[in-house]
């Protein structure tokens, strides 16, 4: 734990050194800070993660905060590792990415708050005192809010930040309420001791759990609280969006996991809430991602989907706990944890890739990109690797965590209880749908953005020359590949956490999972063998032949240009026809003004179902109620006095009447 403190201290020092140096050097200092801090902090984190020990330290911080208990158990150690990993790669990435912004007035604000964001998250996962927890939680929201504002002079950036912060406030209130209810019932301020609250069979315990779930769900981006995500991510600089999406969302997951570990025998309402919300989240997330044309928004929606998948894992964990089926619940939590890890590896990778492309081309609209692969081959191939992983296709990491969830659901199908079977079959179907839709989504991204021909005319001499950003992406790609090919070893990362999550899990159960993962790994290598075989066969066959390079078939048009290429919107058109209920389309028709008009544009955009039918109307309703009272400050002194008098006399009369 001393090393952990040291690592916090390093960040603290680094942040303050950062305040006093030139903008150009800040990213380097941050990078060194993060490297040192992670190197120091990883030691206790990994130690606890692999040994399963729990270490605790108690500090006294005087009146308002009270005794601070920092407790590092495998769950917090797991998230610590995620944070350290995320902070390293995003700091590396930031070195190149932020070069362009070094004369931006918000530069030092963003760099300062990003460091503090990491610091607050590191504290968050070990904090036990609810008051301090909430403080750190708000600090996290605040610093991430500030980190978004690099391009604060843009209106949409500010709007996104505003919306984000308001959502965070709502989340904060829900968590606060939940905490206070528990702390009121248990007369304690330590989070670990809330476990007793859930075991005490209190009347409200499942309501409190659901409240907490929703509170953390706002942070994690579950539907219907997901709306801030597709706005905040595109607005923020790429290293921040990568970090936010990869790591910060997991803080919500951390909260949900922490409290689901406490549930010994969850009520059916709790299980079904978690599962149902997760299904909707995953399905809608990926559905909206498919129709998105802003690459960062698309990735944000895909984050929502992945959060939904993690949520499904947690739901299965609770389901197994409820019906005392250890295998289901063990596999479920393993899947959730592993997917958390994987997502925090491949999502930053994708964001970094998108960020690099954005830096080179200055557009995030995939309809305007195309053919990037030829200019930025390394970035693009790593982007493709990330896409394969995120679509959950075999060989790379995403498949492995989804496989664990499938295993869990299969286990559920075999169960003799019809409830479990039914839920599991729904889960399998949902996962399958998500998988295929992710495939559609990412083939669209790659096909339209990276492949084909350049769509815009201006063609800067783009080159893969950003060393630091490539380095950060390479690190992530290596992890993806390792996890994909050696799932049986990578699952050791979560072994202690899983065993920690419930008292009834046994080591042998966990080892049985490893055995089946070993086989998966074996098959992956078989695939590689077959692939190499066919590939060499093809190379041999083509060896002595002339390679004919010709233009492609274009329906008889002899001068096919990039304008004739298939667009992202048309690519997903067939699906749009099917799912038109959920996709609220908004067409902006730009009117013809002159007598001899030059061009007519129709711009289509998509509105969020929940935003349109749930959030906007309720906000509008609130506004309307408020507007009814807007006439009270009309400037007339007489009116003011009249109102006061009416209030006074009415209350007087009521008082006397009684």
Smallest distance from other proteins to CB 258, Å? 20
Instruction: Confirm or reject binding of residue 173 to other proteins (CB under 8 A).
Output: yes
Q: Contact, 394 vs 524, CB < 8 A? A: yes
Smallest distance from other proteins to CB 242, Å? 22
Tell me: cis bond preceding 224? Omega within 30 of 0 counts: yes
Smallest distance from other proteins to CB 161, Å? 6
Cα separation, 363 vs 223, whole angstroms: 28
- The nearer residue to other proteins, 159 or 467, going by C-beta atoms, is 159
Q: Which of 246, 286, 585, 223 is nearest to 441 (CA)?
A: 286
Count of beta carbons in the 10 Å neighbourhood of residue 62: 7
Count of beta carbons in the 10 Å neighbourhood of residue 419: 15
Instruction: Confirm or reject binding of residue 209 to other proteins (CB under 8 A).
Output: no
Site residues for other proteins, 313-372, by CB under 8 A, read 370-371
Site residues for other proteins, 99-158, by CB under 8 A, read 105-106, 109, 131, 134-135, 138-139, 142, 149, 152-155, 157-158
Q: Which of 187, 180, 390 is nearest to 300 (CA)?
A: 390
Cα separation, 121 vs 144, whole angstroms: 10
Binding mask 620-649 for other proteins (x = CB under 8 A): --xx--xx-xx-xxxxxxx-xxxxxx-xx-
Instruction: Confirm or reject binding of residue 559 to other proteins (CB under 8 A).
Output: no
Smallest distance from other proteins to CB 35, Å? 29
Site residues for other proteins, 395-414, by CB under 8 A, read 395, 399, 403, 406-407, 410, 413-414
Site residues for other proteins, 572-601, by CB under 8 A, read 572-575, 577-578
Instruction: Confirm or reject binding of residue 538 to other proteins (CB under 8 A).
Output: yes
Instruction: Confirm or reject binding of residue 436 to other proteins (CB under 8 A).
Output: yes
Site residues for other proteins, 457-496, by CB under 8 A, read none
Cα separation, 79 vs 72, whole angstroms: 10
Interface residue with other proteins, options 3, 39, 162, 267 (CB under 8 A): 162
Q: Which of 171, 167, 182, 163 is nearest to 215 (CA)?
A: 171
Site residues for other proteins, 412-431, by CB under 8 A, read 413-414, 418, 421-422, 424-425, 428-429, 431
Smallest distance from other proteins to CB 518, Å? 9
- The nearer residue to other proteins, 389 or 498, going by C-beta atoms, is 389
**In Å, how far from its chain's centre is CA 158?**
21
List of residues 6+ apart from 570 with CB closer than 8 A: none
Sequential DSSP letters for 443-486: HHIIIIIISS---SS---------HHHHHHHHHHHHHHHHHHH-
- Whose tokens are 């912004």? That residue is 101
Q: Work out the angle between the directed axes of helices 249-262 and 326-361 (0-180°, nearest 10).
A: 170
Q: Among the candidate windows 293-301, 346-354, 360-368, 433-441, which touches other proteins by CB under 8 A? A: 433-441
Instruction: Confirm or reject binding of residue 20 to other proteins (CB under 8 A).
Output: no
Q: Number of residues in contact with other proteins, rule: CB under 8 A?
A: 140
Q: Among the candidate windows 77-85, 243-251, 255-263, 618-626, which touches other proteins by CB under 8 A? A: 618-626
Smallest distance from other proteins to CB 655, Å? 6
Q: Among the candidate windows 30-38, 301-309, 582-590, 619-627, which touches other proteins by CB under 8 A? A: 619-627
Cα dist from 195 to 198, 255, 258, 259, whole Å: 5, 13, 10, 8
């Amino acid at each position: 734990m001393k090393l952990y403190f040291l690592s916090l201290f390093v960040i603290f020092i680094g942040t303050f050194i950062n305040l006093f140096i030139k903008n150009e050097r800040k990213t380097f200092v941050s990078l060194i800070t993060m490297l040192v801090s992670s190197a120091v902090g990883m030691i206790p984190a990994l130690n606890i993660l692999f040994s399963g020990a729990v270490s605790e330290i108690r500090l006294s911080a005087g009146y308002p905060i009270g005794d601070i208990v920092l407790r590092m158990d495998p769950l917090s150690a797991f998230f610590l590792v995620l944070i350290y990993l995320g902070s390293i790669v995003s700091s590396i990435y930031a070195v190149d990415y932020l070069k362009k912004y070094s004369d931006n007035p918000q530069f030092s604000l963003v760099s300062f708050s990003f460091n503090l964001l990491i610091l607050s998250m590191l504290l968050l996962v070990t904090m036990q005192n609810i008051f301090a927890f909430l403080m750190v939680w708000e600090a996290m929201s605040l610093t991430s809010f500030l980190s978004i504002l690099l391009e604060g002079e843009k209106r949409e950036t500010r709007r996104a930040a505003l919306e984000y912060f308001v959502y965070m406030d709502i989340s904060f209130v829900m968590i606060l309420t939940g905490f206070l209810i528990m702390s009121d019932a248990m007369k304690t301020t330590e989070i670990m001791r809330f476990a007793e609250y859930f075991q005490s069979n209190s009347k409200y315990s499942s309501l409190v759990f659901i409240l907490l779930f929703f509170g953390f769900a706002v942070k994690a981006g579950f539907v219907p609280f997901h709306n801030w995500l597709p706005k905040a991510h595109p607005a923020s600089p790429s290293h921040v969006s990568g970090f936010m999406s990869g790591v910060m969302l997991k803080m919500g997951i951390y909260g949900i996991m922490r409290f689901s570990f406490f549930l010994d025998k969850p009520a059916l309402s709790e299980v079904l809430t978690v599962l149902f919300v997760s299904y909707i989240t995953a399905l809608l997330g990926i559905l909206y991602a498919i129709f998105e044309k802003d690459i960062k928004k698309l990735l944000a929606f895909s984050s929502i989907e992945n959060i939904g998948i993690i949520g499904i894992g947690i739901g299965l964990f609770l389901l197994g706990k409820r019906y005392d089926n250890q295998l289901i619940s063990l596999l479920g939590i393993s899947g959730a944890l592993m997917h958390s890890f994987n997502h925090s590896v491949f999502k930053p990778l994708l964001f970094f890739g998108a960020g690099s492309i954005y830096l080179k081309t200055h557009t995030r609209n995939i309809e305007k990109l195309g053919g990037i692969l030829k200019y930025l081959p390394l970035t693009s191939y790593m982007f493709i690797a990330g896409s394969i992983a995120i679509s959950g296709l075999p060989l790379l990491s995403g498949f492995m965590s989804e496989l664990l969830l499938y295993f869990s659901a299969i286990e559920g199908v075999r169960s003799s209880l019809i409830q479990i079977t039914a839920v599991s079959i729904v889960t399998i179907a949902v996962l399958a749908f998500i998988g295929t839709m992710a495939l559609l989504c990412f083939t669209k991204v790659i096909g339209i953005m990276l492949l084909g021909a350049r769509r815009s005319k201006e063609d800067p001499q783009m080159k893969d020359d950003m060393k630091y950003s490539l380095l950060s992406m390479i690190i992530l790609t290596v992890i993806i590949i390792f996890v994909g090919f050696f799932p049986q070893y990578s699952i050791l990362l979560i072994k202690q956490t899983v065993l920690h999550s419930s008292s009834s899990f046994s080591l042998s159960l966990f080892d049985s999972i490893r055995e089946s993962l070993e086989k998966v790994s074996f098959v992956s290598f078989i695939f590689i063998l077959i692939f190499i075989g066919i590939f060499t066969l093809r190379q041999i066959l083509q060896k002595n032949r002339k390679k004919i390079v010709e233009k492609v078939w274009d329906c008889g048009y002899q001068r096919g240009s990039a304008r004739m290429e298939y667009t992202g919107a048309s690519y997903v058109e067939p699906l749009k026809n099917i799912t038109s209920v959920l996709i609220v389309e908004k067409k902006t028709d730009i009117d013809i003004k002159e007598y001899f008009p030059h061009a007519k544009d129709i711009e289509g955009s998509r509105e969020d179902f929940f935003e349109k039918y749930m959030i906007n109307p309720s906000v509008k309703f609130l506004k309307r109620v408020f507007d009814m009272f807007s006439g009270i400050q009309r400037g007339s002194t007489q009116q003011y006095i009249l109102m006061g008098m009416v209030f006074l006399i009415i209350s007087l009369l009521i008082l006397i009447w009684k």
